[in-house]
Amino acid sequence: MKSVLITGGTGTFGRAFAKECLQTGVERIVIYSRDEQKQEDMARELAGFDQLKTLRFFIGDVRDENRLRMAMRGIDTVVHAAALKIVPACEYNPIEAVSTNIVGAEHVIRSAIDNGVRNVVALSTDKAVEPVNLYGATKLTAERLFIAANHLSGSPGKPDATRFSIVRYGNVAGSRGSVIPLFKRMHANGETLPITDPRMTRFWISIGDAVLFVMRALNDMRGGEIFIPKMRSFRVADLADAIDPVDQYSLQGVPIASDRKVIGIRPGEKLHETLITSHDTPRLYDDALGRQFIIFPEWISINGKLSDFTYSSDTNPDWLSTDEIRKMI
């Protein structure tokens, strides 16, 4: 990987991925995003690196195919992280969500093929699995577009064609989409932390682990795979207790703080994160050494060994305790 373009490059993932690229000797990094103030802030944050030689900032939107195609000139690797991600906002602005998450994905695909980009990895989410809201539906569609793009580029038969793969995981701990910053702000203001449901569970992945996982996927990909990291689960109620410890009682068989307010699940929100369903098992490979699962595309012959397997945060055997969560945050 000599040159990389990151869409949504000023987000939590994009900033961390750019730092890793700078430290590993990538020759050219293009940050593609639409907020000039965030680009200015990121430039200051990375001021210690030789930016004039390596780092480039392009103001642009994935909805603008011409601008995107221009930004990809001379690029060999694309990481597509740009998306509208806030579930209520997507529900209220459905056309905007479709324009960014679906039409924007199409623009990334065409621009990459036209510029002869070598590898494209698109970041996806648990919400694309059996979606119950518009955001999840747009991300599921985007996944299918990127996998099918291998046929547009000819990558299943041509080794030098543009290859497209997916990395799928849930919310990154501490990112803007995570509840952790909200809980910390509320705790600092002396507010009691609410939870939506005492049974709610999530997967845990740090931003550093997410970056390294995408790096590895870029190295391992052949085109059409969905890479899913093996992660630990946690209860959102335990996260609240790790930040704001209080006395507990049992509700629906789950320990919960005695003065914790239960506000109910928001529209479009799931109780648990699911990253793999039983429908994926015929094409599912369990890479135990790499601590990952890989869902292979239909054109790769594989006999999945896992029968009726699902990978969900509530049935995952590997859990974080409240004390472990407290140390990690």
**Residue 249: what pLDDT?**
47
pLDDT at 60: 97
Instruction: Give the C-alpha separation, 215 to 25, whole Å.
Output: 13
Rg of the chain over all Cα atoms, to the nearest angstrom? 20
- pTM reported for the whole predicted model: 0.92
According to the model, what pLDDT value does residue 256 have?
Answer: 52
Catalytic residue (choose from 19, 38, 53, 127): 127
pLDDT value at residue 52: 57
What CA–CA distance (Å, rounded) separates 105 from 66? Answer: 14
Q: Are strands 119-125 and 163-169 parallel, antiparallel or unpaired?
A: parallel
Return the C-alpha torsion angle 325, 169, 285, 220, nearest 10: -110
pLDDT along the chain (329 residues), means of 10: 96 95 92 96 81 84 98 98 93 96 98 98 96 96 98 90 96 80 87 88 95 97 97 93 71 55 83 94 90 94 80 95 91
What's residue 252's pLDDT?
Answer: 55
Q: Which residues of 156-192 are buried (b: 16+ CB within 10 A; e: fewer)?
A: beeeebbbbbbbbbbbbbbbeebbbeebeebeeeeee
Helix (H, G, I), strand (E, B) or coil at 262: strand
Beta pairing partners, 292: 229, 287
pLDDT recorded at residue 174:
76
Task: Indicate if 127 belongs to the active site.
Answer: yes
**Domain 3-171+205-231, CATH among 3.40.50.620, 3.30.70.20, 3.40.50.720, 3.30.710.10:** 3.40.50.720
Residues 245 and 172 sit within 8 Å (Cβ to Cβ): no
**Cα separation of 20 and 172, whole Å?**
17
Comparing CA positions, the residue from 39, 127, 122, 120 lying closest to residue 85 is 127
Predicted confidence at residue 255, as pLDDT, reads 54
